[in-house]
Structure 1
Amino acid sequence: MDFDDQLRRYFGTDDLSTIAPTTLETGIDRMRIDLGMEKDRSRRFALWSLLYLFNASPDLDVAFDNDEDRNAARDFMDMMAKAQEAD
């Protein structure tokens, strides 16, 4: 999954600064629906990660069925926290 492609898919643009609040809400809702329907683990993780970046991700125990995926998500969360600290 390409980040810019996902932004265009869910928000109609790859420029985050142009996304209207209602478009953001609608796109996030669509991502949540797609996450719930997605069976491929990699695609689920990518959708969850994008939702996480928008502060809209479901809890790990809801989003992921197995420990490996939950641990990968925790690692992602830790990396994002460290990146924010570096700024």
Structure 2
Amino acid sequence: MDMENLLLRYFGTTDLAQVKVDAIPAATDRMLVDLGMEKDRANRFALWSLLYMLDAAPDLDVAFEDEADREAARNFMDIAIAAGGT
């Protein structure tokens, strides 16, 4: 699951600038449900990453059972912050 596929799946476009602000809450709700049901670690991380960028990600201890996944998420957050993101 890559970011373009996620964007298409939840927003119908790969360009977040095209997404209407009022569509974001419903999409994040669907992503949170999917995150809770997703078993594949890579897919969970991809979903969590998009949720993080939308300021809707659950806490790391809720999202990831594995400490290595939590550490990868911390690294992602550090990179996003350094790049001027969330």
- TM-score, length basis structure 1: 0.90
The aligned residue for residue 57 of structure 1 is 57
Structure 2 spans left out of the alignment, 5+ residues: none
The CA distance in 2 between the partners of 1:80 and 1:24, in whole Å, is: 20
Identity over the aligned pairs, expressed in percent? 55
The CA distance in 2 between the partners of 1:54 and 1:2, in whole Å, is: 16
The structure having more radius of gyration, on CA atoms, is: 1
Taking only aligned residues, the RMSD between alpha carbons, in angstroms, comes to 1.3
The CA distance in 1 between the partners of 2:17 and 2:76, in whole Å, is: 24
Matched, 1:32 2:44: no
Structure 1 spans left out of the alignment, 5+ residues: none
Equivalences for residues 7-86 of structure 1 within 5 A: 7-84=7-84
1:7 partner amino acid: L
The CA distance in 1 between the partners of 2:21 and 2:84, in whole Å, is: 23
The CA distance in 2 between the partners of 1:63 and 1:4, in whole Å, is: 21
The CA distance in 1 between the partners of 2:63 and 2:35, in whole Å, is: 8
1:70 partner amino acid: R
Name segments (4+ residues, structure 1) moved above 4 Å.
Answer: none
The one of the two structures with greater contact order (alpha-carbon pairs below 8 A, sep at least 6) is 2
Secondary structure in 2 aligned to 1:6? helix
Matched positions, count: 85
